[in-house]
Amino acid sequence: MCTFAIEPAPENDTLYDPIREDDPAFLAFAEDIQKNRIINPLGVSVDGYIYDGHRRYAAARYLGMSYVPIRIDPKISRLKDPDGFLRRLKSCNEQRVKTAAEVMRESLVTMEPDTWQRVCDYRESVSNVDGAEVFRLIGAKKRSQIVQKRSLADAIIRTVNDYYAEYGPTSDRKIFYLLLNIPGLLRNDARKTPFGNSQECYDDVTDLLTRLRLDGSSLPPRKGMVDRFRESGREKLILIVDSDFDPEGQDIPNSFGLSLRDDFDIEPDRLVIIKAALTYQQTQQLDLHEGQIAKEDSARYGRFVDAYGERCWELEAVPTDTHRDIAEATIRRVIDLDRFNEELARQKQEQADLNEHRRRVREALAKIRWDEEGLG
| pLDDT for the residue numbered 146 | 65
| 3, 68 Cβ separation under 8 angstroms | yes
In angstroms, the CA 33 to CA 231 distance is 43
Could you state, in chain order, the average pLDDT of each consecutive group of 10 residues for the chain (376 residues)? 78 77 81 90 92 91 88 90 86 63 52 48 48 63 67 90 83 90 91 91 87 62 80 86 91 86 84 90 89 88 89 90 88 73 78 80 68 53
| pLDDT for the residue numbered 211 | 76
In angstroms, the CA 33 to CA 27 distance is 10
| pLDDT for the residue numbered 265 | 85
| 43, 73 Cβ separation under 8 angstroms | yes
| pLDDT for the residue numbered 42 | 93
- The residues, any chain, with a CB within 8 Å of residue 72's CB and separated by 6 or more, are 44, 45, 46
| pLDDT for the residue numbered 87 | 84
Strands in 271-277's sheet, in edge-to-edge order, are 133-135, 271-277, 237-242
| pLDDT for the residue numbered 124 | 47
CB atoms within 10 A of CB 89: 25
- The residues, any chain, with a CB within 8 Å of residue 330's CB and separated by 6 or more, are 132, 240, 274, 276
Tell me the domain boundaries of the chain: 3-127, 150-334, 338-376
Residues 109, 115, 119: CA angle, nearest 5 degrees: 65
In angstroms, the CA 175 to CA 195 distance is 13
Q: Is the pTM of this model over 0.95?
A: no
- The residues, any chain, with a CB within 8 Å of residue 91's CB and separated by 6 or more, are none
CATH class of 3-127: alpha beta
**What number of helices (H) and strands (E) belong to the chain?**
15, 11
Nearest to 88 by CA among 103, 102, 77, 101: 77
In angstroms, the CA 316 to CA 227 distance is 32
- The residues, any chain, with a CB within 8 Å of residue 115's CB and separated by 6 or more, are 83, 86, 108, 109
| 275, 135 Cβ separation under 8 angstroms | yes
CB atoms within 10 A of CB 241: 19
| pLDDT for the residue numbered 221 | 59
In angstroms, the CA 141 to CA 22 distance is 9
Residues 153, 170, 161: CA angle, nearest 5 degrees: 45
Residues 159, 162, 165: CA angle, nearest 5 degrees: 145
